[in-house]
Structure 1
Amino acid sequence: MKVFVDRELCYGSAECAHRVPAVFEFVDEYGVVRPGREETGEDPEVLEAAERCPSQAIRITGAP
């Protein structure tokens, strides 16, 4: 499953980058998925980051 951050929704709390720095980083005041880490949507920490994102900007798509 793929993970991405919707920049239209993200307001830059950096919560994702603090929770899972191996997958997310903070760039230009927005959370983004690190290059090459897009296929980590099944990771429990990534799923939790998506659930806890205050702007609900983290999206997980695709079937496992």
Structure 2
Amino acid sequence: MRISVDPEQCYGSGDCVHRAPSVFTKVGGLGAVIPGREHDLDLPRVREAVEGCPAAAITVTRED
């Protein structure tokens, strides 16, 4: 599974950074996943960030 933030959908609330600062950061005012942390979905705070994103910009995709 891989976490990503869609920059077209994100409006920069920073909620993801607040909930899971070890995984998310802001780049150019928008939320982004810190390089190398794209697979840290098992952290409870990451799941909270995914579910609580006000722009629904964070997605979790299956890697086959």
- Give the CA deviation at 1:41: 2.2
Q: Identity of paired residues, percent?
A: 49
Aligned: 1:30 with 2:24: no
Q: Which amino acid aligns with 2:47?
A: L
Structure 2 gap ranges (5+) = none
Secondary structure class of the residue paired with 2:41: coil
Structure 1 gap ranges (5+) = none
Within 2, Cα distance between the matches of 1:19 and 1:6?
Answer: 18
- Give the CA deviation at 1:17: 0.5
Give the paired residue count. 63
TM score, norm. by length of structure 2: 0.90
TM score, norm. by length of structure 1: 0.90
